[in-house]
């Protein structure tokens, strides 16, 4: 009778299971794959935001060209040059308000409002207070024009200090 209990023991001995080392190995591989995926996702999001900003800057340039065709001048009265203020929340918003109101037909600095819209922004491109255009990072677009030359339009690409200017997205060619 003692032999009859042996097959029962053999069944338990042949049962398969994962060891602790195998489980840790699988968890490690999953963690590495998750890290690679999440790290790549951040780069993809940044790349997407850069492309969106380039597209929006090109659209603003085209709107300014349409404005120029009607008034023989670009929206002007801006004082902030690309290198004079590195805080896009303070200085850039004033210049952005001028171009915003002119392109949306709400006012011309030197004339009465025309009501003609030169640009139809996406809701995500308008600041929360509805006063200026914002880039994909939520900062106002920089804008400068003397009225006669094509405007300089730029995004700080989320940078708020001088060390990040090499990552700015601009309407002028990079050096």
* Size (the chain), residues: 175
pLDDT digits (tens, 9 = 90+) for 53-88: 999 999 999 999 999 998 898 887 655 555 544 455
Choice between 139 and 7, residue whose per-residue pLDDT is larger: 139
Q: Which of 102, 65, 56, 96 is nearest to 79 (CA)?
A: 96
- Domain boundaries along the sequence of the chain: 23-170
> Residue 65: how many CA atoms within 13 Å on its side-chain side?
6
Q: What is the band of 105 on the pLDDT scale with cuts at 50, 70, 90?
A: confident
* 3-state DSSP assignment of residue 140: strand
- pLDDT at site 89: 52
The answer to whether the predicted template modeling score (pTM) of the entire model surpasses 0.85 is no
Centre a 10 Å sphere on the Cβ of residue 109 and count the other Cβ atoms it contains: 12
């Amino acid at each position: 009778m003692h032999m009859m209990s042996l097959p029962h023991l053999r069944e338990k001995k042949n049962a398969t299971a994962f060891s602790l080392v195998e489980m840790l190995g699988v968890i490690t591989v999953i963690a590495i794959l998750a890290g690679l995926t999440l790290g790549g996702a951040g780069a993809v999001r940044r790349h997407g935001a850069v492309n969106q900003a380039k597209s929006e800057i090109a659209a603003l340039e085209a709107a300014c060209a349409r404005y120029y065709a009607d008034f023989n001048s670009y929206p002007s009265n801006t004082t902030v040059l690309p290198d004079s203020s590195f805080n896009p929340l303070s200085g850039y918003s004033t210049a952005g308000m001028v171009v915003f109101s002119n392109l949306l037909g709400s006012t011309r600095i030197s004339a009465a409002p025309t009501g003609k819209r030169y640009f139809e922004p996406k809701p995500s491109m308008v600041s929360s207070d509805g006063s200026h255009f914002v880039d994909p990072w939520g900062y106002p677009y920089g804008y400068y024009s003397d009225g006669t030359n094509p405007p300089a339009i730029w995004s700080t690409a989320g940078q708020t200090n001088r060390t990040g200017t090499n990552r700015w997205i601009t309407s002028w060619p990079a050096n």
